[in-house]
Amino acid sequence: MSPSSSSAPSVFSRGPNLNLRNMTFLSNPNVEISIPGIQGPAGNFVRSFSTLDRIEGTVNILSKTDIRFDDLEISFNGVEKTFVDKLSSTTAMAGRSESTHRFLKLQQPIRNEDLPQPRILAAGRLYSFPFTFVVPSQLLPKSCGHKTTHENVKNAHLQLPPSFGVPELSGFGSSLLDDLSPDMSRVTYSIKAILVRNRDDGSDAVLVEATRKLRIKPVFEEQPPLDIDGISDEYCHRQEKSIRKGVFKGKLGRLVIEAGQPKSFRLPALPPGAELPPISTMAKVVLRFDPAEEHSPPPRLSSLSSKIKVTTFYASVPRRDFPDRASSLTDMSAGYISDMISLSSMCVASVEWKKHESWESPVTRRDSALSTASALTMNSNTLSAAVIPDPSASYHGKLFYTATILVPIFLPKTKHLVPTFHTCLISRVYGLHLSLSTHGSPFGPSLSVRVPVQISSEGSVGANERRRETEQREQAILDVDAAFEPRNVAPPNEQYMGQSQILPPSYSSFQQQMGGGALSRERGAQGVPVF
């Protein structure tokens, strides 16, 4: 999984490509991990690595005195850490539970002849060991060895998560932004170099260890929309409410609002150093008004505001299913934290209502198994045909009104919202809250809906190009192999030999329609039917 390099360690003098400021002379050797093209937190730019990107660099070792060692280990690691604090009336159940899960470890092969012979680091000499790692597209099955309730949960846990909860690396390029990760959860990637010496009892002693954190942003494809038709405390795709003519007046009618899951926010593939463009999606809101009386007009709409809810689930025990708030409240080994971010508020006073004379129109009926929520989800992706919500509780089978609102939604540029992901211990999910206000409403927003929304990612420009080249090569190999595949070429059945006027059984109905001998009325010189 990680290409090896056959380059032998080199000893070179102080040069422009080597930063010796941090390589102070200590009793133990000093180890520095250098990756060209990447700067630390103090620099103006922090490089991001994505799926199939190559991470290349060198491990530089400098010692003041001659030091004997036995082995050098260079690895690319991915670790998630969580802790859960629970308060309970029972002292035995209260306290903190912690968990650490190393889901990724790739080791750089180092040949014996590439190490100093004998295994002694000479004083004052600089040793450099190159390494090359490739960010994998998926984790090995052993990374998620616990049981899950569904195969989709297992597949989600085997996806590479993004860097999460690392303030010095969170963001885009030179912009370090808050990813809203709680202190209780963290996903860290790093290059680690360990110099080992064997003890007399056979155990290993670590002489020195160096770590270089990396920003990893894997590719995340958009997943199928969630089914929110059932009872859910988190999401609600439909709400209806009575609208009154005034504070002390009668009812004007009943207003219904529905919305489906929109397409995901897609983080684009950008070249190094490029500014992040606006990232948006489009939500579709469908309204229905059932008047209390035929002459009652639909309400005057005022504004529609949008917010995004950011929820992080964390646990100290591997999750068997996708997390939710209800189970986290009763589970002593799990917890969650949510943040609400306001996105926009738009005036919808100019939205036009469409009048319908009856609900029995064939266009409005949905007798199939397709639910309103799933239909809205598909239409929010295509933004095409209108979906009419089901009647409200006060509908009497007379006329009603409908309206459609397309809501553009942009991710905030002041926060770093990572893609939607699920690991064995940590999950990050998002919800979209839409609130509708009407003129003359004395109690604030009239109606609101809560639907899930995803954030997906394209990866990096270089990785996408390499992935396309790989797919083209694989397809070319398949095409070549298909050309040489054996084919079953056999003589025709004996009952059809010399009987071109007799059709196979599957064509019997066609023969009857043609009058039985339609194919034998006109033949060429070779007895072949002419149509």
190 and 312 part of one domain: no
Examine residue 485 and state whether it is found in any structural domain, yes or no.
no
Q: What is the rounded average pLDDT of the residues 33-40? A: 75
196 and 63 part of one domain: yes
- Considering 458, 487, 505, which residue would you say is the last residue of a domain? 458
What is the model's pLDDT at position 367? 37
190 and 286 part of one domain: no
What is the model's pLDDT at position 446? 82
DSSP string, 48-85: EE-TT-EEEEEEEEE-SS-EE-SEEEEEEEEEEEEEEE
**Structural domain count of the chain:** 3
> What's the mean per-residue pLDDT of the chain?
81
Model confidence over 293-330: pLDDT tens digits?
Answer: 888 899 999 999 999 999 999 999 999 999 998 888 88
393 and 513 part of one domain: no
Examine residue 222 and state whether it is found in any structural domain, yes or no.
no
260 and 373 part of one domain: yes
What is the model's pLDDT at position 93? 59
Q: Which of 50-54, 88-92, 487-491, 513-517 is predicted most confidently?
A: 50-54
Model confidence over 236-251: pLDDT tens digits?
Answer: 999 999 888 766 677 8
Number of neighbouring beta carbons within 10 Å of residue 373: 23
Higher pLDDT, 508 or 499: 499
Model confidence over 2-19: pLDDT tens digits?
Answer: 444 434 443 333 333 444
Q: What is the rounded average pLDDT of the residues 27-37? A: 85
**Cβ 409 vs Cβ 430: under 8 Å:** no
Query: Tell me, what CATH number does 14's domain have?
Result: 2.60.40.640
Model confidence over 260-292: pLDDT tens digits?
Answer: 999 999 999 887 777 788 999 999 999 999 998
205 and 349 part of one domain: no
Examine residue 318 and state whether it is found in any structural domain, yes or no.
yes
Residue holding tokens 């129109």?
361
Examine residue 2 and state whether it is found in any structural domain, yes or no.
no
258 and 201 part of one domain: no
What's the per-residue H, E or C state across 136-158? CCCCCHHHHCCCCCCHHHHHHHC
Coarse DSSP helix, strand, coil percentages of the chain, rounded to the nearest 5 percent: 15, 35, 50
Higher pLDDT, 440 or 517: 440
Higher pLDDT, 264 or 21: 264
Domain range for 179: 10-216
Examine residue 480 and state whether it is found in any structural domain, yes or no.
no
What is the model's pLDDT at position 488? 67
311 and 344 part of one domain: yes
Q: Give the residue from 462, 426, 530, 514 showing the smallest Cα distance to 185.
A: 426
pLDDT at 387 over 90: no
395 and 510 part of one domain: no
Banded pLDDT at 401 (limits 50, 70, 90): very high
Q: Report which DSSP code applies to 410.
A: E
Banded pLDDT at 39 (limits 50, 70, 90): low
Chain centroid to CA 394: 41
Examine residue 58 and state whether it is found in any structural domain, yes or no.
yes
212 and 242 part of one domain: no
Examine residue 1 and state whether it is found in any structural domain, yes or no.
no
Model confidence over 130-168: pLDDT tens digits?
Answer: 999 999 999 999 999 999 999 999 999 999 999 999 998
Number of neighbouring beta carbons within 10 Å of residue 400: 27
Q: Report which DSSP code applies to 516.
A: S
**Cβ 78 vs Cβ 160: under 8 Å:** yes
pLDDT at 38 over 60: yes
- Considering 181, 216, 251, which residue would you say is the last residue of a domain? 216
What is the model's pLDDT at position 36? 83
What is the model's pLDDT at position 202? 75
332 and 191 part of one domain: no
pLDDT at 376 over 60: no
pLDDT at 342 over 80: yes
Examine residue 472 and state whether it is found in any structural domain, yes or no.
no
Q: Are strands 171-172 and 67-68 parallel, antiparallel or unpaired?
A: unpaired
Banded pLDDT at 531 (limits 50, 70, 90): very low
- Considering 458, 482, 505, which residue would you say is the last residue of a domain? 458
What is the model's pLDDT at position 436? 94
Q: Which of 14-28, 207-221, 260-274 is predicted most confidently?
A: 207-221
For residue 445, what are the contacts with CB-CB under 8 A and spacing of at least 6?
305, 435, 436, 437
pLDDT at 372 over 70: no
pLDDT at 176 over 80: yes
Percent of residues, the chain, with pLDDT higher than 90: 51
pLDDT at 386 over 60: no
196 and 332 part of one domain: no
- Which range, of 134-138, 251-255, 371-375, averages the lowest pLDDT? 371-375
Residue holding tokens 């009872």?
231
Higher pLDDT, 46 or 188: 188
